[in-house]
Amino acid sequence: MNNNQIQSKIKILTIVILQISYIVACKHNSVETPIYKSKNIPVEERVEDLLNRMTLEEKIGQLSQIYVVTADSFTLKEIREGKVSSLLNGLDTFYSPSTRNLFQKEAVENSRLGIPLIFGHDVVHGFRTIFPISLAQSCTWSPELHQESSRIAAREASTYGIDWTFAPMVEVSRDSRWGRVAECYGEDPYLNSIFGVAAVKGFQGNDVSQPYQVVSCLKHYVGYSVSEGGRDYQYTPIPERDMQEIYLKPFKSGIEAGALTVMSAFNDINGIPATSNELYLRKTLKEKWGFQGFVVSDWDAVVQLIDHGIAADTATAAMKAFSAGVDMEMKSLTYQNLKSMVEQGIVSIPMLNESVKRILRVKFLKGLFDNPYTDTLRMYNEILTAEHRSLSRRIARESMVLLKNDDGLLPLDDKNQELAIVGPFSNEKNLMGWWKSMGNANDLVSPLHGLKLNTKPGTIISEKISKNTDAIIVCLGETREMFGEYHSRSDISLPEHQLQLLKELQKHSKPIITVIFNGRPLDLTEVIKFSNSVLIAWHPGTEAGNALSDILYGNYNPSGKLTMSFPKSTGQVPIYYNHRNSGRPDQSNYIDLDAKPLFPFGYGMSYTTFVYSNLQLSSQVITIGDSLLVSANVANTGQLGGEEIVQLYIRDLVGSTTRPVKELKGFKKVFLNPGESKEIQFLIHSDDLVILNEDFNSINEPGDYYLWIAPTSEGGLKGEFKLTK
């Protein structure tokens, strides 16, 4: 071999060596990329891989959600050390998307395993564009609209890097003294299920890993709305039958719809607080229903087990909540005790692993490992858009409920040239409800502003009543501070000074339109007496005044119907349409009052009239496993087009256990032009008639039923059928 040959051999050898070392390096690298960081590997494998790499401290860190306001060095250090799994709330400073990314960077780039944080926040009925409170949204009887408002709330919240909302609240609520009824979908389990599912779908979408969706959280599990006397956080004695037939139902539907998290409640259920209630958390939610996501406690609820009197110290509180099935602790820090408990064998490693896996699973599904940072620029053109505001306006006007309208006073027409708008809420901008998130009162159209903005040519809107005034619009109601968490009321009538004002207005001898901005059903007995028209506007959100003007000027014909009964007096509550009959139904009155509400569930007026006729049943008999088609004609016999919410109720007459006097089984919202009539059909399947028998088995019991196709829970067209084997 000459020199040249030797040189070229060396060259070839060098290339081969380099190639081999490149291949080895590549192989080596791919071994080094942990499975949990590889995008295309199934979530469960990634979870398992990560879990196997975690120390005991890191596992316990995943169970902790802390409340932060600023990115202080202590918090950043805790995140770096893997002691924090999730951050919640905080003030505006925290909710800048770049601060959020700063926290996230600490977790993803500077902690040992790079496990991302999940950011939670209460996005209940909007983020910056605020929609009507949830109770109001249920009065639209349009789950489609609610899904859409939840989708937009998610989209706006996600621009701030929020991955997870503590909503929807699906607690069937029947006591309007309780301030939190504003957050739910009313007194009916079926309606709460349907609206809860709509919210879950809107928040999470088809693919929750998309950057504009958020993880939803069904809350508060379970029975919190039963708080004695309507006082918040109080004892909740709940018979197992009510628990299963009423309170658990919407949660089960939400889980079936794919909700990834559940929040345990503050209340004490029959002597075992919800936070440490193994029966409902571990046994029912996780084992019986197969829920695969995770449970977060409510705010400080774990440490509050000490106040409940079932734990003497923080260690026992942690042990009880954790063993019962609370995977993540919100705010209080008792889970730090779990380390020594695991070491002592008091808490088992498999149980710890299971909780960690649940939390990691949700983080993987949300896409946080693959896409941990939020785009800081989206907030500039994705919030408070014209499209979002317009949906908010639509939902607000569809949620308003007309309770009284003497002599067709509304809609205001050309005869009403001069309108006076008065009352404490006439120019109010804080009409965003309790959970207003980033909602800003400056964005809100007040009632006065809305009426002026949309006024008809030639109409004068004044804040003073004069001899030329044609009609008085008086805006009354509850401020945001009069309902919501820890804001129960012992008397749910309007404050005395508001009633006084309404009475004083009588001296002008003008027609009075009373608009109520409220967060709960109220006792409106006096208001009805002293008003010609009454409109329930709730806390309508950002587009309050525009939506109100749509209704008052007749650009929208009201269609909202109540989803909670309005009582005749506070003494009647809890009051709800789907009560049981009792042995002496005729003697359910008080000596000073009857037992009927002032306005029942399902009630709401329109500017037109709807007439129901021609009830038809495809058969008088349903066989188990079969269906029955029921239909009726609904005709618009008035002068204006409008939407009607047609409701289907049933009553199971005789069973092995007592049944409610009426149960909502379906509803349809239909638009009818003047003079138009439509056949409205419902299918009742025998599964819809399943009840819990004495042994708590879900079965079909053959027997007789009533059914109604009706405009409210009272009255309507009545039919009968039989269920047979």
Binding mask 115-144 for ligand BGC (x = CB under 6 A): -------x----------------------
Q: How far is the CB of 382 from ligand BGC (least distance, A)?
A: 24
**Dihedral angle at the C-alpha atoms of 103, 104, 109, 115, nearest 10 degrees?**
120
Give the C-alpha separation, 601 to 528, whole Å.
Answer: 17
Non-local (6+) Cβ contacts of 571 within 8 A are 590, 593
Non-local (6+) Cβ contacts of 365 within 8 A are 43, 208, 209, 215, 260
Across 283-295, b (16+ Cβ under 10 Å) vs e yields: ebbbeeeebebbb
Q: What number of chain residues touch ligand BGC (CB under 6 A)?
A: 7
Q: How far is the CB of 321 from ligand BGC (least distance, A)?
A: 15
Give the C-alpha separation, 553 to 259, whole Å.
Answer: 40
Instruction: Work out the angle at residue 364's Cα, subtended by the Cα atoms of residues 300 and 338, and round it to the nearest 5 degrees.
Output: 40
By beta-carbon proximity to ligand BGC, the closer residue of 85 and 469 is 85
Non-local (6+) Cβ contacts of 121 within 8 A are 88, 89, 95, 157, 162, 164, 165, 166, 437
- For residues 149-178, which are near ligand BGC according to CB under 6 A? 166
Q: How far is the CB of 67 from ligand BGC (least distance, A)?
A: 8
CA distances from 434 to 69, 133, 478, 487 (A): 20, 8, 11, 10
- For residues 71-90, which are near ligand BGC according to CB under 6 A? 89
By beta-carbon proximity to ligand BGC, the closer residue of 301 and 395 is 301
By beta-carbon proximity to ligand BGC, the closer residue of 146 and 219 is 219
Could you say which of 278, 413, 485, 526 contacts ligand BGC (CB under 6 A)?
485
329 forms part of the interface with ligand BGC (CB under 6 A)? no
Q: How far is the CB of 183 from ligand BGC (least distance, A)?
A: 7
Which is it for strands 677-685 and 627-636: parallel, antiparallel or unpaired? antiparallel
Kindly state the tokens that stand for 191: 């309606």
By beta-carbon proximity to ligand BGC, the closer residue of 298 and 663 is 298
Could you say which of 58, 245, 298, 327 contacts ligand BGC (CB under 6 A)?
298
By beta-carbon proximity to ligand BGC, the closer residue of 219 and 404 is 219
Q: In terms of Cα–Cα distance, which of 296, 107, 315 is closest to 220?
A: 296
298 is an active site residue? yes
How many angstroms from the chain centroid is the CA of residue 260? Answer: 14
Say if CB 120 and CB 87 are below 8 A apart: yes
Q: How far is the CB of 227 from ligand BGC (least distance, A)?
A: 12
Q: How far is the CB of 295 from ligand BGC (least distance, A)?
A: 13
Across 224-253, b (16+ Cβ under 10 Å) vs e yields: bbbbeebbbbbbbebeeeebbbbbbbbbbb
Say if CB 129 and CB 152 are below 8 A apart: yes
299 forms part of the interface with ligand BGC (CB under 6 A)? yes
By beta-carbon proximity to ligand BGC, the closer residue of 259 and 605 is 259
Q: How far is the CB of 485 from ligand BGC (least distance, A)?
A: 5
The active-site residue out of 122, 163, 298, 688 is 298
Residue 631: beta bridge partners?
A: 616, 681
For every residue of 319-371, DSSP letters joined together read HHHHHHT--BEES--GGGGHHHHHHTTSS-HHHHHHHHHHHHHHHHHTTTTT-
Give the C-alpha separation, 23 to 441, whole Å.
Answer: 62
Kindly state the tokens that stand for 449: 């502003």
Say if CB 531 and CB 574 are below 8 A apart: no
By beta-carbon proximity to ligand BGC, the closer residue of 217 and 710 is 217
Torsion region of 493: left, alpha or beta (phi above 0 gives left; psi -120 to 50 gives alpha): beta
437 forms part of the interface with ligand BGC (CB under 6 A)? no
436 forms part of the interface with ligand BGC (CB under 6 A)? no
By beta-carbon proximity to ligand BGC, the closer residue of 123 and 575 is 123
Q: How far is the CB of 408 from ligand BGC (least distance, A)?
A: 42
Say if CB 529 and CB 406 are below 8 A apart: no
Say if CB 282 and CB 237 are below 8 A apart: no
By beta-carbon proximity to ligand BGC, the closer residue of 82 and 168 is 168
Q: In terms of Cα–Cα distance, which of 217, 139, 136, 223 is closest to 178?
A: 223
Say if CB 508 and CB 469 are below 8 A apart: yes
By beta-carbon proximity to ligand BGC, the closer residue of 293 and 711 is 293
For every residue of 155-170, DSSP letters joined together read HHHHTTT--EE---B-
- Amino acid residing at 486: Y
Q: How far is the CB of 712 from ligand BGC (least distance, A)?
A: 31
Instruction: Specify the 3-state DSSP secondary structure of 490.
Output: coil
Q: How far is the CB of 709 from ligand BGC (least distance, A)?
A: 37
By beta-carbon proximity to ligand BGC, the closer residue of 434 and 556 is 434
Q: How far is the CB of 299 from ligand BGC (least distance, A)?
A: 4
For every residue of 571-588, DSSP letters joined together read GG-S--TT-B--S-GGG-
By beta-carbon proximity to ligand BGC, the closer residue of 91 and 591 is 91
221 forms part of the interface with ligand BGC (CB under 6 A)? no
Q: How far is the CB of 231 from ligand BGC (least distance, A)?
A: 15
By beta-carbon proximity to ligand BGC, the closer residue of 118 and 476 is 118
- For residues 180-219, which are near ligand BGC according to CB under 6 A? 219
Q: In terms of Cα–Cα distance, which of 154, 149, 188, 146 is closest to 171?
A: 188
Say if CB 681 and CB 627 are below 8 A apart: no
Say if CB 252 and CB 262 are below 8 A apart: no
- Amino acid residing at 540: P
Residue with the shortest CB distance to ligand BGC: 166
Instruction: Work out the angle at residue 275's Cα, subtended by the Cα atoms of residues 274 and 277, and round it to the nearest 5 degrees.
Output: 55
Q: How far is the CB of 213 from ligand BGC (least distance, A)?
A: 19
Torsion region of 220: left, alpha or beta (phi above 0 gives left; psi -120 to 50 gives alpha): beta
Residues that bind ligand BGC (CB under 6 A): 89, 122, 166, 219, 298-299, 485
The residues annotated with a catalytic role in the active site are 298
